[in-house]
A and B are shown apart, each in its own frame.
Chain A
């Protein structure tokens, strides 16, 4: 099974500053034949269902603000919030879908400093 590990578990960032979340998979989620990374990111706010932010490691879902960006390849990935807004307070999860036993990371809680 592919295990996803996020870091840090939580972080506090000032409004307008950059927030960076890391995600590492126990094996590569890059499929060489299509050169795609099978990695998604979700935002989970209190009292709401999770929301898809990014898929294929760097493709923003429709309607997601461009301050959210994804990068990385193979086993190491990053979600960046370029200028943190109050409404971005949430837990963020990465998820691999390379395997049919798709799995989530443990989550990173983002708060305002």
Chain B
């Protein structure tokens, strides 16, 4: 079955860290760039970060740059998001997402989403 399964979410205090994981199955993981997209309660979808198939290029939204680090282990079909210095506004459902891109200069659209893992940042 083609799927993405996230884990690692939970309740954490402001300023602390959390590491999210995502395991992929049913497709050739190392053929694709992977992304994290989040949705805060009652708010819009927000792209967070992406990593190319070979980890050669990463990118972050301004809201998380310098605090979050994306990585992957193709031998384990796994994607990670290390989140440091967490803030209340990072509270969200975090989705692991598979990206599709045709042109090397363009962005990605997203054809496979996990069910998400909930991160709650609160004192």
Whether the Cβ atoms of B106 and A38 lie closer than 8 Å is yes
Supposing A49-B115, A49-B116, A97-B101 touch, asked if A102 and B107 sit within 8 A by C-beta, the answer is yes
User: Given the complex of chains A and B, what is the CA–CA distance between A52 and B113 in angstroms?
Assistant: 9
In the assembled complex, the CB of B25 is this many whole angstroms from the nearest CB of chain A, namely: 15
Contact code string B79-99 (vs A, CB < 8 Å = 1, else 0): 000000000000000010000
Q: Restricting to A52-90, which residues have a CB under 8 Å from any CB of B?
A: 52, 55, 61
Instruction: Name the A residues within 8 Å of B115 (CB-CB).
Output: 48-49
Q: Chain A interface residue count: which class? A: 20 to 34
- Interchain CB contact under 8 A, B109 and A97: yes
A103 touches B47 (CB 8 A): yes
The answer to the question of B108 belonging to the interface, with a C-beta cut-off of 8 Å to chain A, is yes
State the B residues within 8 Å of A (CB): 44-47, 59, 61, 95, 100-103, 105-111, 113-116
- Which residues of A line the B interface, CB within 8 A? 31, 34, 36, 38, 40, 42, 44, 48-52, 55, 61, 93, 95-107
User: Which 8 pairs of residues, A with B, have the shortest CB-CB distance?
Assistant: A97-B107, A102-B107, A49-B113, A40-B109, A104-B45, A100-B107, A97-B109, A55-B109
